[in-house]
Amino acid sequence: MQWQFWIVQTLNSVSFGGLLFLLSSGFSLAFGLMRIPNLAHGAFFMLGAYFGATVVYFGGDFWLAALAAGVGVGIVGIALERFILRPLAGNVQGQVLVTLGISFIIADVCLLVWTGDPWTVPAPPAMRRPLLVAGFAFPTYRLVVVVIALVAAVALYFLMERTRLGAMIRAGVDDMEMARGVGIPVSLLFTVVFLLGAVLAGAAGAFGGPILNAYPGLDADMLPLALIVVILGGAGSLLGAFVGSFIVGFLYNFGIALFPDLAYFILFLPMLLVLVFMPQGLFGRAAP
Amino acid sequence: MNRKSIAVAIGATACAAVPWIITNDYFVNLASQILIYALLALSLNLLLGYGGMVSLGHAAFLGLTGYSTILLVLAGHDQLTTAILSVVFSTACGALFGVLALRASGIGFLMITLALGQIVWGIAYRANELTGGDNGLTLPARPVPFGIDINSASNFYHFTLIVFAIALFCIWRMTRSPFGAALCGTRDQPRRMSMLGHNVWMIQWLTFVIASFWGSISGLLYIYYNLFMSPHAISLQQSAEALLMAILGGATTLSGPIVGAVIITIVKNVVSTYIERWNILLGLIFVIVIMFMPNGLVPGCRQLWQSIQSRRKAPAPETKSASEPAP
């Protein structure tokens, strides 16, 4: 029985870490490039969860739901970047506060449209049956989420390290002035990266639906986790987001399972250690 | 007596007379609320306007003071001891938060304060046995300072006004002191300040502690006013509202946060009698103010006044621009 607990909790932690990676990788990249944390990112996640829940509710396929959530939230993200953040270019503080204002609006609109009751999202039928391995029952859906996160991680790795676009993004993260100087269209990159982050957050919301459900306040639950991942991992670092997500996933899950009252406090400890000893995060670069 | 001190005297008399001018308890209570939020916004503005540090976790001090007050009273301590202990506790937390948050500057500072504020919220929300979770906790009674009963609306208003006036005076003195000047220096030119021999970190940290102290005092007033504390009172929205008050009024001025608190509190109360949700409007005001009125109302009006008076084409002298975070 004890064994079972640890194994199941470990799997839960890994799958939650995977979700967090989908959520925070885009957040971290946009933060590294644009120098602003998008405080509407938690709201994007929640919006994605609601979009996904709605598509499933109306009989849509689960993958279609994730796609719709990604596209829908991506449109919101583009609109936010183009019409609100762009006019505030240069005013970093203003941009951050505006994203916070937007997150309140999104959260309240969600409450209006989807009401205050949580929307439970059933896992796809094929993945509901637990997977039996060596006598242990694993929830199949959580394994699928881990696989999705790993696929996304590999895809993002190739995007960032092996493509021209990725090289341009990395150049922008490292030294924006130089990147502009050599003719990289940095402002276009802003839109691309912001869109990428929004799509990932939306899809993550849809994938998270069967695990977390869609409920008011989901945004406020997820945003601090994404922030802590980025504080741990370092802004703009894909590897940092990956490692940070799984650290936070484990701490949060085991924290909730073992010390439910102190789950948030346990998250505080690694953040404290990293801030004291490595203020740039584990994989972040020192600010120029 | 110069014009300014006469104006202050008139303003103070008018504030003190509020309960006799408007006899309706609802509005007197609204005035008390405004003072409480104005103090919260003022304390936040020490960081935001004078220090150039955007904190998104200031409501944490409301919560730390509020919860510790209730818990200490429930544990059987008397009100005076409780008030002192809870403010000391909350300020000490502020000192610790300051050490953490000041590991970073600019946006990093903002993120860390946000995370810290959310952690306090999360503990209030999740630690059911201690804080009652979502149901919150109730303070049995208001204190009786110097044997004066402050349960009626007008007595409580006067109590709040006296505390507020003391706080305002202290904050005003601080901003006019050499320390306040040094603080503005660290906002505008941190490198030059440290070259001149000022300990930039220490100045910023002390400001953080002072801001958390006054934030805790407003938390004390808050809990005496509401006699109830729940996680909703210290959510991110609350921190953001305080920030919005300061920015809307004008973060670089002393009176700005007060003006902002008056407007936001009234709008919030009026709106919530008609519609249930205030957050959409809060978000919209946020976006509009930041996009179109980044300097806030008080500097904006002052500029307008100056340009009317001088009638010259030349643009009015720039008030201190909204501080940019250090790179």
Domains of chain A are: 2-277 (1.10.3470)
Residues of chain B with pLDDT > 70, as a percent, come to 94
A118–B contact, CB cutoff 8 A: no
Per-residue pLDDT tens digits for B19-33:
777 778 888 888 888
Contact residues, chain A, for B231 at CB < 8 Å: none
Burial (CB count <10 Å: 0-12, 13-18, 19+), residue B20: exposed
d(CA B166, CA B171) in angstroms, rounded, equals 9
Contact residues, chain A, for B277 at CB < 8 Å: 108, 111-112
A259–B contact, CB cutoff 8 A: no
A111–B contact, CB cutoff 8 A: yes
pLDDT for A136: 67
Contacting A residues, span 37-56, partner chain B, CB-CB under 8 Å: 37, 39
Per-residue pLDDT tens digits for B165-198:
899 999 999 988 998 888 888 888 888 888 888 8
A114 to chain B nearest CA, in Å? 14
A224 to chain B nearest CA, in Å? 6
CB contact under 8 Å between A100 and B279, yes or no, is no
Contact residues, chain A, for B119 at CB < 8 Å: 224, 264-265, 267-268
CB contact under 8 Å between A92 and B108, yes or no, is no
- The count of CB pairs under 8 A between chains A and B is 132
pLDDT for B324: 43
Contact present, B100 and B116 (Cβ < 8 Å): yes
- Going from N- to C-terminal start, the domains of chain B cover 21-235
B313 contact partners, CB below 8 Å, separation of at least 6: none
**Segment holding A132, helix H or strand E:** strand A131-133
pLDDT band at B320 (very low <50, low <70, confident <90, very high): very low
d(CA B190, CA B196) in angstroms, rounded, equals 10
Q: Best of A86, A97, A102 to disrupt the B interface by mutation (most B CBs within 10 Å)?
A: A97
Residues of chain A with pLDDT under 70: 1, 132-137, 285-288
d(CA A222, CA A206) in angstroms, rounded, equals 14
Per-residue pLDDT tens digits for A4-35:
778 878 888 888 999 999 999 888 888 887 77
Among the partner residues A98, A220, A261, nearest to B129 by beta-carbon distance:
A261
Helix (H, G, I), strand (E, B) or coil at A131: strand
**Segment holding B71, helix H or strand E:** helix B59-74
Separation of first and last alpha carbons in chain A: 52
Contact present, B38 and B164 (Cβ < 8 Å): yes
Among the partner residues B240, B279, B287, nearest to A84 by beta-carbon distance:
B287
A97–B contact, CB cutoff 8 A: yes
pLDDT for A43: 92
Q: Best of B121, B280, B289, B293 to disrupt the A interface by mutation (most A CBs within 10 Å)?
A: B280
A135–B contact, CB cutoff 8 A: no
Helix (H, G, I), strand (E, B) or coil at A119: strand
CA atoms within 13 A on the CB side of A94: 24
Fill in the DSSP letter of residue B201: H
Closest by CA to B49, choosing from B216, B197, B224, B258, is: B258
Among the partner residues B56, B112, B283, nearest to A105 by beta-carbon distance:
B283
- Locate tokens 């990932």: which residue? A200
Among the partner residues A97, A108, A228, nearest to B115 by beta-carbon distance:
A228
CB contact under 8 Å between A97 and B286, yes or no, is yes
pLDDT for B182: 87
Burial (CB count <10 Å: 0-12, 13-18, 19+), residue A9: middle
Per-residue pLDDT tens digits for B83-120:
899 999 999 999 999 988 888 777 778 888 888 888 88
d(CA B299, CA B260) in angstroms, rounded, equals 12
Is residue B321 pLDDT above 50, yes or no?
Answer: no
Give the count of beta carbons closer than 10 Å to the beta carbon of residue A181.
10
CB contact under 8 Å between A39 and B114, yes or no, is yes
A217–B contact, CB cutoff 8 A: no
The mean of the pLDDT values for chain B is 83
Give the count of beta carbons closer than 10 Å to the beta carbon of residue B173.
11
Measured CA to CA in angstroms, residue B132 lies from A94, A105, B86 at distances of 36, 29, 18
CA–CA–CA angle A102, A107, A111 (5° rounding): 145
Contact residues, chain B, for A272 at CB < 8 Å: 100
B4 to chain A nearest CA, in Å? 34
CB contact under 8 Å between B123 and A262, yes or no, is yes
A127–B contact, CB cutoff 8 A: no
A185–B contact, CB cutoff 8 A: no
pLDDT band at B327 (very low <50, low <70, confident <90, very high): very low
Per-residue pLDDT tens digits for A205-215:
998 888 888 88
DSSP-assigned letters across all residues of A147-195: HHHHHHHHHHHHHHHHSHHHHHHHHHHH-HHHHHHTT--HHHHHHHHHH
CB contact under 8 Å between A275 and B111, yes or no, is no
- Locate tokens 């007060």: which residue? B258
pLDDT for B323: 46
A89–B contact, CB cutoff 8 A: no
CA–CA–CA angle A145, A149, A150 (5° rounding): 115
